[in-house]
Structure 1
Amino acid sequence: MPRVILILLCLLSASVVLAAGSATESGDRDPRPAAGLRDVYFAEALYHAYQGEWFDSVARLDTELGQHRRVDEPALDTLYPHVNQAEFDVGDFELGYRMHLRAGRAIRAVVEGKVDEPQRNAAIYRLARLYFRKDQPREALQAMERIRGEVPQRIRDDVEFLRAQVLMANGRPEEASRILKELLGAKGLEGFAGYNMGIALMQQGKEQDGRQQLDRAGLVANLDSTSQAIRDKSNLVLGYKLLDENKGAEAKLVLDRVRLSGPFSNRALLGSGWADANQGQFERALVPWSILATREVTDPAVQEALLAMPFAYGKLKVYGKAAVLYGQALASFGKEIDKLGQSIVSVQEGKFLKALEREELRQDPDWVVKLRTLPQAPETYYLLELMASNDFQESLKNYLDLNGLAKRLAVWDRDLNSFEEMVKLRRGYYEPLLPEIDEAFKQLDSQIRLRQEQRDRIEKRLHAMLTAPRPDHLATAQERIAREEITRLEQIAAHKVPSPLAGEGQGGGEGATGETVADGDFTHPPTPSRQGRGTSEVTQRLARLRGVISWNIATQYHQRFSETFEDLDNLNRETERLKRRYDSFVRIRQAAAQSYQGYDDAIRSERARIAAAREKVAALLPRQGKILEAMAVEELSRRRVRLEQFQVTARFAIADSYDRANKAQAQKRVGE
């Protein structure tokens, strides 16, 4: 019976695994302000993550972490203060991008590392949620059992809610119900905790308590759209359960709570009509069914209502009206069967996948619903229920991600061509300049070496003079020259060589004694007495000069010593300036060379990786598309088989209605 099938579908859709996935999805991330970060690339990755652009956030942060691991001194890198958080976030972003294996490894690395307790517990929570989503409840439970100590306030209720879901999935509803009882008033979980607690109580065999809890969940007063949705679902599940137990009056009260504009309104209207029919009130049953029959005919509930309405008229013995409505339903089913056949052909021709790839649609959060407006893709009209299912959504996301990755790989391949062109231009610019720059560098290097040697020699002497004073080392250049000249004159005097200082009357061409001097020679050599006396005077005068110089050096020693240290400081500053110029030149020289050297191998390697990835994506994309098409064809075929069954029912019902109408008319004529 169609009603029984719908009841089973509703109970199956009430699975605890899917009950509150959206309730805990949006508020579990740490809202860290990027303004407090020192690393701009980490902040950029966070920006993309906050926009939901998981691929970009993973790509940027993974690259930044890879560069951080290769630096010589990690402590000097701007990412160093945030590296633990970055390691955690890259796993979290991978989880958002559904890179389950990599995300699990990355988060486990943080969980097992030395991090703060709240951060560690937040990582375990995400890891447990990952396992739960992958339908691995046992692994999820093992992860949840590792949460100890302080849990961040923002996810405390979510952690306990997930714990309860994991316990229920592992067949421990009693423990789950105790946790859920504490969460009944938790903000953000209104209705979700009550709904799951009702399911947990029913799993324990406490039917009455479970129904009461579902009834409370169906009365939650909250304007939030998600809370209203779970409230409608609680009423729908409870109503169909009461209807299955032939408690039509109670089911009617519960099903009438469901909003007429909500996602469960069609099934609620159908169930409300069956609740009236269960009590024999077919006239009242026509009210919700009449409303439902005017809605979109592709909905299974609407199609069943098209059969339920003539069924009610038949029970009211209005056989003519019933026959007409059965005929209208039969015609409608025939049209829909034809559309379904066309849709199956359209899916097999690839039009369905092209409709899913429309970028302008996926920019809208309601893009799945907007697919119904595409005239070239009629199959999307029948697949809203399928596309809302978890399995289809995961497969669809994988397909769209592969499609997006194929486009990105093509862009990256073109980017490598641009990089090669940039490297070529830089090589053409710098290579002609480098020989001249290297020659200037050699001169600068020679100057630095010379100045460094001079500085070291002077510094060594000055430090030695602190313990053993050497005034002679502080003589000025003029004093050194004067001393050398005095020494030369003393040597001349010692060898009794005539000198300008030896005679006193050599001017005007006359000798020392007044005799005439001719052709530069003495006509009469001076007497020995005069020569000895002149040499002695020269020696004394030279000695006095030497004494004056030595006196100045000795008396000015301390002053000159201080001034020399000041000059040494100036020399050190000059040496540092040269060294800075040297280091700057080295950096610039390296930067110039590195701007075009060493990229060829890296570009070839990346090009090979991109080519391998494109080849892999090219193989996986059509395969994933075939999975989606197979799911769509299976759903469309199932819908067509169901409508064909409805057609058979309608044909027999038409014949029966006409027979009953003829009998009624015959009896009326006989009575007359």
Structure 2
Amino acid sequence: MRSLARKLSLVAAIIGSGQLCAAEVTPRAGVVIEDLSYGQVLYEYYKQDYFSALTTLLVEEHFARINEHATEAELLRGGLLLSYGLHSDAAEIFELLLGNDMAPTLVEDGKALFAEQELRGRAWFFLGKVLFQRGYTSEAAEALRYSGDKLPDHQSAERDALLSQAYMELGELGKAEQIVDAWESVDDWGNYARYNLGVALVKANRVNEAGVYLDAVGTIKASSEEMLALRDRANLALGFVWLRQEDGAQAKVALERIRLAGPFSNSALLGYGWAEAAQGNYRGALVPWLELRDRKAIDPASQESVLAIPYAYRQLGANQQAVESYTAAIQIYDDEIGRLDRAIVVARQGELMKQLLTEDISDFSRVSWSLSSLPDTAEARYLYEVIASNRFQTGLRNYRDLLMLASHLRDWQARLGIYGDIVDSRMAAYAIALERLPDGLYAEQIAAHRSTYEGVAETVSAAENSYGSAVFASAKESAVLQRIDALENSPEWAMASADAQEKLQLFKGVLSWDMDSDFKLQLWQQQGQLSELGTIIEDSENTRARLVQRLTATPLLLEDYAERARMLAPQVEQLIDEVAVVSSLQISELGEVAAEELVDQRERLLQYRAQARFAQAAIFDSVSASTELAE
């Protein structure tokens, strides 16, 4: 077995076309989210805001806020990084997932919910898929085999389709047939696998075996546009296979199954005409070819039909009609060549590429985006073939990602300016507050509380040290006590009768009894008031200290924010410039790709025009020779 490090180094070295769709790294369903931070990531992910999901995940992992779903989050991060083409970073993640023992996430009963085997299988699947996209077919097949049988159903089907395709490209058709023949369910991936195997068998000159697989796909019951198109494509391939075998009857059976309004209808009409011609029925061949001629002249099938029509006329002996049709064909080719020349110039100037995105740049979050329509311009209509290629679609996605980055950077550039204004405004407000801050902030309130506290404390202390005294006596009681004391100390009191003295002592005893009975309650109340006053004083002092600290420390914190914003501003500006340069280069590259395709179309038309002129000249020579013989 080749080493894992070698596979990962291949991934890290890969650059260029092809991206993994972010939606393909969907987290497993039915998992209870234990980390709020991971839940936020999934919320953005399921909104298809993949850029925000990735950046949020990076931030949350940086601050170690995802603990219960660490392994699942890492796999999601690796898939998202791959979808943006960051293969080196993703390779490091897969190396960790495939090279180390990762602790599983556990449910409440202690059973493993996220088994290591499933985690490794998904990591191998993603790695194999990217290797396959980049052309490392042997390594991709090995990685896909290691993914095991623990993948979700949709990924398991895709894995089998990719593995069978890898075997086809490696020339191991027997292994590919084993996978396809063992396919039990009738699903989209199975249909793609059968179609690809049929095409591979055609290339291997195993036509009869290929016909079985292509016919199976060509007769599926399809409801989606995708499967309807695949069915048409299979029938088209099967029809041309039989044409190469000069079996026009079999070819017509397959071609008749193709929808007249589908994307392959033009090629089907062209092939049907050749099937009729293969049976010697040139009048029958003219029917689809004449229909095809009246369609758009930019379609390759329509362009070929323009040349096929006079050929059929000539086979029927209608030389005059053949000459006229060749003349019309030459004019059509001249017109199209002129339009292509102008389109090539526009493509190389980069304007054509910018037109492709003018109607579809509102939502940058879709990593799985692909161009679905063309602008209504004379130049864009020639790009159907080039836009269908993976190379062009990937390049266009890369350019779109650059536009997204530029948009984010400009947004942050504006935010930094706004943050600077906010910081300046708040610093000015704090400066005013500091100027207005008195030295004795809350001093009067605290002093008043302290004075009250000291008075109550003195009363409580006196009461505690002289239990039963008249400390808590009311004003009336104090006045009575003073009168009794004055009376007892007067000279006349000694001469008072015994009855009067006895009554005074009785009154004095009753008064003391009343005062003593309320003493404990009043002491407890005074002690509570004392404690409450102490808490109020402490809280007031702490509040004052915090306020002073806040008013003095916040400007320093704001200055730190301002400094960070000032440091980031030139970095963001530099990144904007760099993205602009790379975007320009990407536009130029896409323009060259489009121009190359347009040049190829031009060369094909030049060849058709040359054939038309040669065939027309041959008719003239034949007619001239016949005239000379007649004379």
| TM-score exceeds 0.5 | yes
Where does residue 61 of structure 1 map in the other structure?
Answer: 57
Amino acid at match of 2:217: A
Of the structure 1 ranges 279-288 and 418-427, higher mean CA displacement relative to structure 2 is found in 279-288
Where does residue 292 of structure 2 map in the other structure?
Answer: 292
How far 1:203 moved relative to its partner? 7.1
What is the rounded CA distance, in whole Å, between the counterparts of 1:587 and 1:46 in structure 2?
40
What is the rounded CA distance, in whole Å, between the counterparts of 2:589 and 2:249 in structure 1?
44
Once the two structures are superposed, the pairs formed by residues 427-506 of structure 1 within 5 Å of their partners are: 427-433=427-433, 477-481=462-466, 505-506=490-491
Structure 2 residue aligned with 1:39, among 30, 36, 41?
36
Q: TM-score, normalised by structure 1?
A: 0.70
Change (3 A) 1:438 1:84: farther
What is the rounded CA distance, in whole Å, between the counterparts of 2:20 and 2:188 in structure 1?
7
How far 1:344 moved relative to its partner? 1.8
Structure 2 residue aligned with 1:636, among 583, 598, 606?
598
How far 1:349 moved relative to its partner? 3.2
How far 1:650 moved relative to its partner? 1.0
SS of equivalent residue, structure 2 residue 558: coil
How far 1:250 moved relative to its partner? 1.9
Change (3 A) 1:504 1:65: closer
What is the rounded CA distance, in whole Å, between the counterparts of 2:30 and 2:550 in structure 1?
36
Q: Provide, for residues 494-519 of structure 1, a one-character-per-residue CA deviation record: whole Å limited to 9, x for no partner.
A: xxxxxx99x95557xxx9999xxxxx
Larger radius of gyration: 1
Q: Provide, for residues 160-203 of structure 1, a one-character-per-residue CA deviation record: whole Å limited to 9, x for no partner.
A: 32333333344433223222223253433352132133345567
**1:133 and 2:137 equivalent?**
no
Where does residue 359 of structure 1 map in the other structure?
Answer: 359
Once the two structures are superposed, the pairs formed by residues 221-260 of structure 1 within 5 Å of their partners are: 221-260=221-260
What is the rounded CA distance, in whole Å, between the counterparts of 2:158 and 2:438 in structure 1?
65
SS of equivalent residue, structure 1 residue 191: helix
Where does residue 108 of structure 2 map in the other structure?
Answer: none
What is the rounded CA distance, in whole Å, between the counterparts of 1:621 and 1:288 in structure 2?
45
Change (3 A) 1:333 1:485: closer
**1:97 and 2:110 equivalent?**
no
Q: Provide, for residues 325-378 of structure 1, a one-character-per-residue CA deviation record: whole Å limited to 9, x for no partner.
A: 00000011111111111112222333213312413588798955432x12xxx3
Where does residue 400 of structure 2 map in the other structure?
Answer: 400
Change (3 A) 1:484 1:395: same
Where does residue 172 of structure 1 map in the other structure?
Answer: 172
Q: TM-score, normalised by structure 2?
A: 0.74
How far 1:630 moved relative to its partner? 1.4
Change (3 A) 1:151 1:633: closer
Change (3 A) 1:206 1:637: closer
Task: In structure 1, list runs of 5 or more residues that go unmatched.
Answer: 1-20, 451-474, 487-499, 515-540
Amino acid at match of 2:331: A
Residue pair 2:25, 2:76 contacting (<8 A) in 1 also? no
Q: For the aligned residues, what is the CA RMSD?
A: 4.9
Change (3 A) 1:190 1:176: closer
Amino acid at match of 1:29: T
**1:654 and 2:616 equivalent?**
yes
Where does residue 328 of structure 2 map in the other structure?
Answer: 328
Q: Percent identity?
A: 27
**1:370 and 2:367 equivalent?**
no
What is the rounded CA distance, in whole Å, between the counterparts of 1:398 and 1:640 in structure 2?
28
Residue pair 2:236, 2:258 contacting (<8 A) in 1 also? yes
**1:620 and 2:620 equivalent?**
no
What is the rounded CA distance, in whole Å, between the counterparts of 1:611 and 1:603 in structure 2?
12
Where does residue 114 of structure 1 map in the other structure?
Answer: 103
Change (3 A) 1:393 1:354: same
Amino acid at match of 2:586: Q
How far 1:386 moved relative to its partner? 0.6
Task: In structure 2, list runs of 5 or more residues that go unmatched.
Answer: 1-17, 105-113, 451-459, 472-484, 497-504
Residue pair 1:242, 1:250 contacting (<8 A) in 2 also? yes
Q: Provide, for residues 385-418 of structure 1, a one-character-per-residue CA deviation record: whole Å limited to 9, x for no partner.
A: 0111111111122222223323332232122111
What is the rounded CA distance, in whole Å, between the counterparts of 1:440 and 1:31 in structure 2?
62
Residue pair 2:22, 2:79 contacting (<8 A) in 1 also? no
Change (3 A) 1:102 1:216: same
Once the two structures are superposed, the pairs formed by residues 164-203 of structure 1 within 5 Å of their partners are: 164-183=164-183, 185-189=185-189, 191-199=191-199
What is the rounded CA distance, in whole Å, between the counterparts of 1:290 and 1:361 in structure 2?
41
Residue pair 2:38, 2:69 contacting (<8 A) in 1 also? no
Once the two structures are superposed, the pairs formed by residues 581-620 of structure 1 within 5 Å of their partners are: 592=554, 596-620=558-582
Residue pair 1:42, 1:86 contacting (<8 A) in 2 also? no
Where does residue 88 of structure 1 map in the other structure?
Answer: 75
Amino acid at match of 2:612: A
How far 1:26 moved relative to its partner? 6.4
Change (3 A) 1:258 1:433: same
How far 1:225 moved relative to its partner? 1.3
SS of equivalent residue, structure 1 residue 297: coil
Amino acid at match of 2:55: A
How far 1:562 moved relative to its partner? 11
Where does residue 306 of structure 2 map in the other structure?
Answer: 306
SS of equivalent residue, structure 1 residue 280: coil
Change (3 A) 1:348 1:210: closer
How far 1:631 moved relative to its partner? 1.4
Residue pair 1:61, 1:90 contacting (<8 A) in 2 also? yes
Of the structure 1 ranges 135-144 and 413-422, higher mean CA displacement relative to structure 2 is found in 135-144
Residue pair 1:310, 1:322 contacting (<8 A) in 2 also? yes
Of the structure 1 ranges 129-138 and 210-219, higher mean CA displacement relative to structure 2 is found in 129-138
Where does residue 456 of structure 2 map in the other structure?
Answer: none
What is the rounded CA distance, in whole Å, between the counterparts of 1:643 and 1:406 in structure 2?
40
Amino acid at match of 1:151: L
Residue pair 1:248, 1:276 contacting (<8 A) in 2 also? yes
Where does residue 4 of structure 2 map in the other structure?
Answer: none
Change (3 A) 1:666 1:242: same
Where does residue 212 of structure 1 map in the other structure?
Answer: 212
Residue pair 1:368, 1:387 contacting (<8 A) in 2 also? no
Number of residue pairs aligned between Structure 1 and Structure 2: 567
Q: Provide, for residues 224-250 of structure 1, a one-character-per-residue CA deviation record: whole Å limited to 9, x for no partner.
A: 111112222222222222222323322
Change (3 A) 1:239 1:174: same
What is the rounded CA distance, in whole Å, between the counterparts of 2:131 and 2:213 in structure 1?
28
